[in-house]
Amino acid sequence: MFTDDVRTQLWSTGYGRLGPVLSAAQCEQLRALYDQPELFRNRVDMARHRFGRGEYKYFAYPLPDLVRELRETLYASLYETANEWMAALSLPCDYPPELERFLERCKAEGQERPTPLMLHYGQGDFNCLHQDLYGDVVFPFQVVLGLSSPDDEFKGGELLLVEQQPRAQSIGHAIRLAKARLS
C-alpha cells in the first residue's frame, strides 16, 4: 500500500497521498455506517465545543470489518516509518509490527477506547485547526479517507495541514480530497 514514493513524500512534506485504495461501493458501504448509531460510542457536535461546525462520531468496539481491516493494513504499512521518524527526532518509541500489540500498550496506559471516527459536514461546515491526541501513547500518523465526490457532492472541503517550523513562519498545505482515496 505504501510505495517508496509515499514514504519520500512523508519525509519531505509530512504527508503522503496513497491514491485510490477503496472502490466506490466500499465508500458507500462506509458512508452507510454513519446512520447506524449502535456502531458508535460517542457523537460530537463540533459547534458546541467550538471545534468548528459539523459533527463526528467515534466508532465503538467491535469495529466494523472494513474499518478494522483498513486500520490493521494501514498500521502495518506505517509502523516502520513511524519508528524511523521517532528515531530521527531522538524520541523514545518502538512501534511493534502488529497493531494489536500497539493497542495493548495503549490499553496498559488507560487508553482503551477506539479512535477511528467519521466526520459529517453540511454546507458551510468546517473543522478548526487542531491536533488529535488521546493520551500519552501516540502514533505519529493519521489517515484521512474521503468518502464523497468533490464537485459532485460538495464544494470546497480541502484539508489544511500546517507545518510548524521552529523560529520560522508556519507553512500551510491545502489538500484536496477525492472519493475512494486515502491521504
* Digit-coded pLDDT (tens) for 17-67: 888 889 889 999 999 999 999 999 999 999 999 989 999 999 999 999 999
The yes-or-no verdict on residue 183 having pLDDT over 60 is no
Q: Are 41 and 58 in contact (CB under 8 A)?
A: yes
The vertex-61 CA angle with 100 and 86, nearest 5°, equals: 35
Summarize pLDDT for 59-110 with one digit per residue, the tens. 999 999 999 999 999 999 999 999 999 999 999 889 999 999 999 999 999 9
What's the CA gap between 102 and 73, in Å, rounded? 14
The reply to whether the predicted model has a pTM over 0.85 is yes
The vertex-146 CA angle with 22 and 142, nearest 5°, equals: 95
Scanning 49-148, the segments in alpha helix (DSSP H) are 65-88, 99-108
Q: Which amino acid belongs to residue 75?
A: Y
Summarize pLDDT for 139-166 with one digit per residue, the tens. 999 999 889 888 888 888 888 888 888 8
Neighbouring CB atoms inside 10 A of 57's CB total 20
Return the bridge partners of 173, or none: 161
Q: Are 81 and 7 in contact (CB under 8 A)?
A: yes
Q: Measured on CA atoms in the order 44, 34, 17, 102, is the torsion positive or negative?
A: positive
Q: Look up residue 127 and give its three cell numbers.
A: 473543522
Return the bridge partners of 154, or none: 150
